[in-house]
Amino acid sequence: MIRDEILKKYPAENESILMILHDLQNNNPQNWLSEEDLKAVAAYLNTTLSSVLGVATYYTMYSVKPRGKFIIRLCNSPVCHIEGAEEVLSEIERVLGIKIGETTPDGLFTIEATECLGRCAAAPGMIVNEQFHGFLSKDRISGIINKTKI
């Protein structure tokens, strides 16, 4: 059972929780934390489900509902904003046929907004899982999405 192996990598102390949640989520093909995951973490750390859920829902990188195989995180900070992030977002939404925060029915893509990615010299920018794409414009979006699928 992968879940138990992941838990055992970390000391059973409350301070491990962020690292454990990252690891569990990264090992889930749909990039999320299930109720079973959270219960297992609570049992391992000898704490309550509500406190684990409290941490999991405070931090925006965690999700307690299934997401796509690829998570598009579009930078929403002021620099990317003035460089046209809004227009880029509409194009991503149009190409994928979903709104921000949603996942495509085939389970491939989720669109999210993120705060400053520290790539302001290449604004507007986004990351698709770990891959950064900068100098985005409307006409580059379908190309990036099609290439990601392959």
Site residues for other proteins per CB under 8 A: 13-19, 21-22, 54-55, 58-62, 73, 76-79, 81-82, 114-121, 123, 127, 130
CB of 120 to other proteins, least distance (A): 4
Cβ nearer to other proteins, comparing 56 with 92: 56
Given a contact cutoff of 8 angstroms between Cβ atoms, the answer to whether 53 and 65 are in contact is no
Which residues share a beta bridge with 128?
72, 131
CB of 46 to other proteins, least distance (A): 12
Cβ nearer to other proteins, comparing 116 with 144: 116
CA–CA gap between residue 99 and residue 92 (Å, rounded)? 9
CA–CA gap between residue 123 and residue 38 (Å, rounded)? 36
Provide the token pair at 78: 């002021």
Cβ nearer to other proteins, comparing 78 with 97: 78
